[in-house]
Copies of this chain bind each other. A is one copy, B any other.
Amino acid sequence: MEQIGPEHLARRLRDIGQRVTPQRLAILGALRPGEHLSADEVFAAVESSLPGVNRSTVYRTLEMLRDLSLVSETDLGGGARQYERIEGRHHHLICQGCGRQQELEDALVAPLRSTIFERYGFAAGIEHLAIFGLCGECAR
C-alpha cells in the first residue's frame, strides 16, 4: 500500500500548479483510497489536526480536488455526497431494494469510455460511478 507523507501531497499539488496550504494538506491527507467520507467527516478529521478550518474551505478544496481528478465526488444515495481519493478507478452497484452495495471493476466500464471517445471525440472521466438498480435477489 502506498505510503503518502505531507511532502508527497505537497509535490502533487505543486505539480499541477496549485498552491500548497496547511488546509489542503490536511484535507488531502484525510482522504484515503477505498474509503468513502462525507464532507462533514473530512471536516471533522481535519478539525482535529488543524483547529479553526472552515467548512467552506473543506467544500471548496474537495471541489478543486474533484476537478483535478484527485478525488471522486459521488452521491451514493445516503443523504450526503461521498468523497474518496482516486487511486485506480472503481465503481459501485447499489441495490434500491435491499441497499446492498457491490464494487464494480472499471474493466466493465472502460469499453463505454472508449466508445464515447471513438464516437464523439469526448474524453470521459467516469472515475467513480454509482449505478443504481436491483440485485438478483431483489429483482423478482
| Chain A interface (Cβ < 8 Å from any Cβ of B) | 67, 75, 93, 95-96, 102, 104, 108-109, 111-112, 115-116, 119-126, 131-136, 139
Q: Which residues of B contact A109 (CB under 8 A)?
A: 112
Check B133–A125 contact: CB distance below 8 A: yes
Check A116–B104 contact: CB distance below 8 A: yes
CB distance from A135 to the nearest CB of B (A): 5
Select A119's contact among B108, B122, B126, beta carbons within 8 Å: B108
Given contacts A111-B111, A134-B123, contact A116 B93 (CB under 8 A): yes
Select A116's contact among B75, B108, B125, B139, beta carbons within 8 Å: B108
Apart from A124-B132, A126-B133, 7 more pairs, CB < 8 Å: A102-B122, A104-B116, A116-B133, A122-B134, A122-B136, A123-B133, A123-B134
Task: Look across to chain B and name the residue whose beta carbon is closest to the beta carbon of A122.
Answer: B93
Given contacts A111-B111, A112-B108, contact A120 B132 (CB under 8 A): no
Given contacts A75-B75, A131-B126, contact A120 B104 (CB under 8 A): yes
